[in-house]
Amino acid sequence: MKKRKLFYKVEKYLDHKNAIVVTGIRQVGKTTLLKQLFDHVKSDYKVWFDLDNPLDQLLFENTDYHAIYRELVTIVKSGEERLFIFLDEIQNLPAITRVMKFLIDHYQVKFVVTGSSSFYLRNLFPESLSGRKFLFYLPPLSFQEALYFHNKVDLDQLLSNELNDVLKQQSLYHYKKQSEEYLRYLQFGGFPEVVTTVDDDLKKMVLKNIFSSFFEKDLRLLSDFREIRELRDLIRLLAPRVGSMLDITRIASELSVDRKKIYAFLDFLQGTYFIHLLPKYAKGIDRSVAGGKKVYFSDNGILNLLGPITESQLLENAVINQLAIYGELSFYNYRNTSEIDCILDKKIAFEIKQTGTEHDYKKLSKLTDKLGIRKKYIISQNFRDMYGIVYPQFL
């Protein structure tokens, strides 16, 4: 099975003392990545535990942490050699973090673990683990990874796909070569099982199963059935608002739910990587927490499943996810009269259009000049032979 791009980043940290933590939305490929890392470790002193399995949890429930270590040594038949412990789905055993800290500090045990969301991990990892972990986020497949899974680009092309190269003007030949694949990516998104499924009807069934899994497992944290219904209704309200600034008061009124609960639900959805909220651009002092935010879904397939979604919304949602790989994103809005869709690391501005025009570029240039941003590009789905154009299938 092919490896995700993140694998080649994480493997460099396998010899470091810190625990490696891989997180992301459910069914995005965390367990597969963990197994590949397990196979990659050359040591014979390694062991795997699936914390979805209550029997695998038993060992780590012992309050004598020295005894846990002795049991691990017995399992792998180790002497003084370093142990490599792989744990899948650590959110099922919150106490595991205390065990990890103790074994890292006293026995230099190397932990490589997965967890389903930052919502869990924010509560699971106390400050005592500060400086003892490297946290990695595994998103759905990028478009370049989807091409790699379909043998349309090779590994060297995937690993060398740097933003500076992407932002060079592309030829019509390369544009046409990948346009059809990109249309499918806009429709079905990047969950690995969806990407590797050939039949479109089966793709839709897989997406429905992923959506159901989210409700069956992640929503167990909510207190009652009423909250689950309210959250479901909120998700349905958010879908047609993709790319728009959220009006929390209006949403609360439509759902007959108080604003405080809406904020809590949004925090939950963002914490489980179901959505992400883009803050406003603020030059100088970081004021990203202030003002309205724009909402995007972590995967186009899930967004399209919720429908009805316009083609321009699907494009913008996909592009925002693609750009998020390269750094921190924000958007610019001046009194609802002028806007820039996306600003990367406060340095590069992007306007997303189905068909970019010279007028769009001139308008963007005026705004970026005012903000002191030197680099700006129009991301156009349709081909245009003009300066400042970038095509989304190359991101």
Digit-coded pLDDT (tens) for 34-82: 999 999 999 999 999 999 999 999 999 999 999 999 999 999 998 889 9
pLDDT of 221 reads: 61
CA gap 283, 266 in Å, rounded: 25
**If DSSP codes are grouped into helix, strand and coil, which group holds residue 321?**
helix
Instruction: Identify whether the C-beta of residue 85 lies closer than 8 Å to the C-beta of residue 121.
Output: no
Low-confidence ranges of the chain (pLDDT < 70): 119-120, 122-128, 169, 220-225, 284-291
Instruction: Identify whether the C-beta of residue 122 lies closer than 8 Å to the C-beta of residue 112.
Output: no
Instruction: Identify whether the C-beta of residue 169 lies closer than 8 Å to the C-beta of residue 29.
Output: no
pLDDT of 282 reads: 84
User: End-to-end distance of the chain based on CA atoms, in angstroms?
Assistant: 24
pLDDT of 185 reads: 98
CATH of domain 5-137: 3.40.50.300
CA gap 364, 184 in Å, rounded: 29
**If DSSP codes are grouped into helix, strand and coil, which group holds residue 346?**
coil
Neighbours of 194 (CB within 10 A): 27
Residue ranges matching CATH 3.40.50.300 in the chain: 5-137
For 287, the enclosing helix (H) or strand (E) is none
Radius of gyration of the chain measured on its C-alpha atoms: 23
pLDDT of 286 reads: 45
pTM score, whole prediction: 0.94
C-alpha torsion 144→213→201→193, nearest 10: 30
pLDDT of 222 reads: 58
